Chains A and B, each alone.
Chain A
Amino acid sequence: MSDSRDFSDWSAIKEQRRQMMQHIVSELSDDERQVFTEVLRLNMLGRHQNSPRVVQPLFDFVSEKIR
């Protein structure tokens, strides 16, 4: 029968994703990390909403954080 791969279940995927995220974030500066987190947070909150509801708060957030 077919080959199998190295994932036991979805939890294993989640763990890999967590590590992947950690690695990506660890390479960012504080400012960059904050922008990265904020854009994902805004989009998760407003996932069914359109762009202007994310772009303006994100722009304000960046302006506020980096002076």
Chain B
Amino acid sequence: MILRKLEITNFRQIYGTNQIEFAPVGDRNVTVVLGTNGSGKTTLLSAFMWCLYGTVDLQNKDELISHRAVQDTPVGGTVEVSVTLIFDATGHTYHASRSVCMRRLDGGSLERLTEGKLELMIMGADGRSAMANEPATLVERLLPESLSRFFFFRGEDMEQLARQGSQEHLKKGTETFLDFTVIDRSIKHLGQVSDRIEREIRSIAKGDAKDLSERMGQLTEEIDDLEARHEHAASEVAALVAQGDMLDAELAASDEVRPLLEDKARLKQKLQDQEERARELRRQLAALVSSDGYLAFAGDTLDRPLMLAEQAVQKGELPAKIKPKFVDDLLDKGACICGRPIDDQASGALRVYRSHTGLAGLEEQIFTLRNGVNLLRDRRERFVDLLHSARTDYSVALTDIQRTADELSRIDSELKGRDFGLEAIRALQAKVRAKSNELVEARVLLERLEASTAERRERLKELEDERKKKLGESAQEQALTARKAAVVAAQRAVVRLRNDWAALVQRYLDMKLKQTWDRIAQLERLVEFTPDLHLVIKERGGDGDWIASAPSQANQRALALSFIGALIDLAREVAESPTAGVASVFAGGEYCLVMDAPFATMDTFFKTRIPRGLVSLVPQIIVINSNDQWEGEVASALEDRVGKRYVLELHKPGREGEDRTVQFGGRSVDYEVAERYSGTDWSIIREVA
């Protein structure tokens, strides 16, 4: 299936009628569509699926239609959503088209007027055209829906394909791809014919043969019941494997970051302690400044009074010749120290003398002050020492905090959003253990069911042999028995054919996968498509042996893309080598690849190799991605293979000046356009010539 053209009208975000003409097979076989988040990249992928299969992942079917188109439609008016895909396959050109017409009702709701049936027009090489009678059946033959995920995919679904739980999908996909359908239907049809013959045998059996037939009927019912339970149990096991796989992947990712998380937890505690110490030091510093800080500003205030007193001593003004208290005592007693009374005249003289004793008071004060000043001087020295030490400690604490914060920042950048938290990891481990136990129980049940079924089948065969002996000699009974035996034997042979053929295809696909990996990834890894249909990637261990590893997202995506590349290469090979005969109905052919953000999680290594490798393998590629995902390595790898370029130009409510342009194909193109008067987002597809 090679795409020619896509025409979209009012499909979800995409407003109006828009077209994409795809780059054809050849040297420039790549079509690139750029679109920012919300511009409708996934919508574009959905448009293919809706057109071909009528499937779209929407809860509300009214969401199918562009809001902007509905806004433009008056109440009572009609609006149409349609997608047309023109493609080449099996030597013809096909126009597949699906459309739905809706009427806008009062209140804003929509009434669906048509159901959106697929129409398929086939154009032959001679220019004649015809409408397909069973368009859905024909599309299913050209590209079965079960295979569509291999050719129209979102990048984020790729990792899923490389996970263990995807084997059912891989099995179904590869078997559909190689037309096991014919074989599987043959097995089923032989079973139905055998049942019909069995019913005829029972209707004519008599006596013991009739009893045996009834017992056989019961056993068959039991076997049917066991098989139904087996099918259910097998899907349970597959689901548990898938869930376990997801948990393992999460755990592997968490294992990788565990040492970092432990470091982070330790550093966070350290940072907390350091911050607490810094706060304590700052408190101490504040208390010190609050109690003794004034001493730092006292300057010579403490020294000056002592200096003045010293000058007074040097001048002989100090010490004072007499103490005022001595004079006061004499005056209080009214007598001299010799006992003679002090008369008024002497008292007056003493009072005059007393007025001259101030310096003695000063001297006392100075002695007191000197002691105080000395104490304060000591205290100031201690304060200065303590202040220096506290400031140093505080500064060291701040440096420690900065260092720890830097370490934490480094760990955060290494974690890159993988910060699960140790608690979450422990919870995850518990979940993995529980899931593993559930899986063991489910597998035990499966084995028991298998054993019970095998036992009943054996018994059924014994009863059938016994009945053969009891059946009459009539030609009719003999013929029926012979018919049933032939049908059962043919069914066994087809089952054997299926198993052998499946094993052969698996081995061949394994080889193709290895070749494709070497061609597009060019990285020393052992990739395998295993007999139980898993995609596995191994790397060399320390002793040189290949060991299975928990692959990174980039490795998983590269592995899935290699597998799809292998399928596409195989389809081409089959088409180039047609064959006639039984079970060779798969014609093969050329297949395109439509990818939404395929290289998003890849590192530089893969971004430079995978696109280049794919383009050499796949006849036509359509890459839908954002400018961020495109520019750089991917653009460099594919630039000379790009044949067509388009932009999903997003219009969204905004102010003037909020427009955004990007460089694409050497031109500046509108990427986001701010609409002042719009209440909704919408996109148009613009070709970049």
Contact = CB atoms under 8 A, between A and B. Distances in A.
B492 to A, nearest CB: 9
A36 B526 contact: no
A58 B193 contact: yes
Interface in B544-600: 570, 573-574, 576-577, 579, 581-585
A44 B582 CA distance: 8
Interface in B221-280: none
B493 A13 contact: no
B507 interface: yes
B189 A40 contact: no
Contact of A40 (B182, B193, B479, B526): B182
A35 B284 CA distance: 99
A7 B511 contact: yes
A51 B192 contact: yes
A43 B582 CA distance: 10
Nearest to B190: A39
A11 B508 CA distance: 11
What secondary structure prevails in chain A residues at the interface with B? helix
Given A4-B511, A14-B577, A17-B583, A66 B526 contact: no
A59 B186 contact: no
B528 to A, nearest CB: 9
Given A10-B574, A17-B583, A59 B493 contact: no
B190 A35 contact: yes
B208 interface: no
Q: Do most interface residues of chain B lie in helix, strand or loop, or is the interface mixed?
A: helix
Interface in B479-496: 479, 482-483, 486-487, 489-490, 493-494, 496
Interface string A1-22: 1111101011101101110110
Contacts, number: 139
A39 B504 contact: no
A2 B193 contact: no
Given A32-B489, A55-B192, A62-B486, A47 B181 contact: yes
Given A58-B189, A62-B487, A2 B493 contact: no
A32 B486 contact: yes
Interface stretch (B390-398, B415-423, B517-525): B517-525
B215 to A, nearest CB: 25
**Most interface-central of B185, B483, B494, B507 (chain A CB within 10 A):** B185
B478 to A, nearest CB: 9
B497 interface: yes
Contacts of A16: 504
Given A2-B517, A17-B583, A51 B182 contact: no
A55 B192 CA distance: 7
Contact of A48 (B137, B197, B500, B527): B137
Nearest to A9: B573
B486 A43 contact: no
B579 A2 contact: no
Nearest to A54: B189
Measured as residues with beta carbon below 8 angstroms from the partner, the interface class of chain A is 35 or more
B367 interface: no
Interface in B328-358: none
B490 A35 contact: yes
B188 interface: yes
A17 B582 CA distance: 10
A1 to B, nearest CB: 5
Contacts of A54: 185, 189
Contact of B186 (A27, A34, A39): A39
Interface residues of B, number: 57
A14 B579 contact: yes
B120 to A, nearest CB: 13
Contact of A62 (B138, B185, B197, B579): B197
Nearest to A15: B579
A37 B181 CA distance: 16
Contact of B501 (A4, A17, A63): A17
Contacts of A42: 189
Interface in B651-687: none
Contacts of A17: 501, 504, 583-584
Interface string A45-67: 00110010011001100110011
A25 B493 CA distance: 8
Contact of A59 (B134, B179, B196, B504): B196
B617 to A, nearest CB: 15
A31 B577 contact: no
A24 B493 contact: yes
Contacts of B80: none
Given A51-B192, A55-B193, A36 B518 contact: no
Contacts of B505: 13
Contacts of A2: 514-515, 517-518, 525-527
Contacts of B570: 10
B581 A7 contact: no
Contacts of A63: 483
B159 interface: no
B145 to A, nearest CB: 13
B496 A24 contact: yes
B317 interface: no
Nearest to B574: A10
A3 B526 contact: yes
A28 B490 contact: yes
A37 B479 CA distance: 20
15 contacts: A2-B514, A5-B507, A5-B510, A7-B507, A10-B573, A10-B576, A11-B577, A17-B501, A24-B500, A32-B493, A36-B493, A48-B134, A48-B141, A51-B188, A54-B185
Interface of A: 1-5, 7, 9-11, 13-14, 16-18, 20-21, 24-25, 27-29, 31-37, 39-44, 47-48, 51, 54-55, 58-59, 62-63, 66-67
* 3 interchain residue pairs of minimum CB distance: A35-B490, A2-B514, A5-B511
Interface of B: 134, 137-138, 140-141, 179, 181-183, 185-186, 188-190, 192-193, 196-197, 475, 479, 482-483, 486-487, 489-490, 493-494, 496-497, 500-501, 504-505, 507-508, 510-511, 514-515, 517-518, 524-527, 570, 573-574, 576-577, 579, 581-585
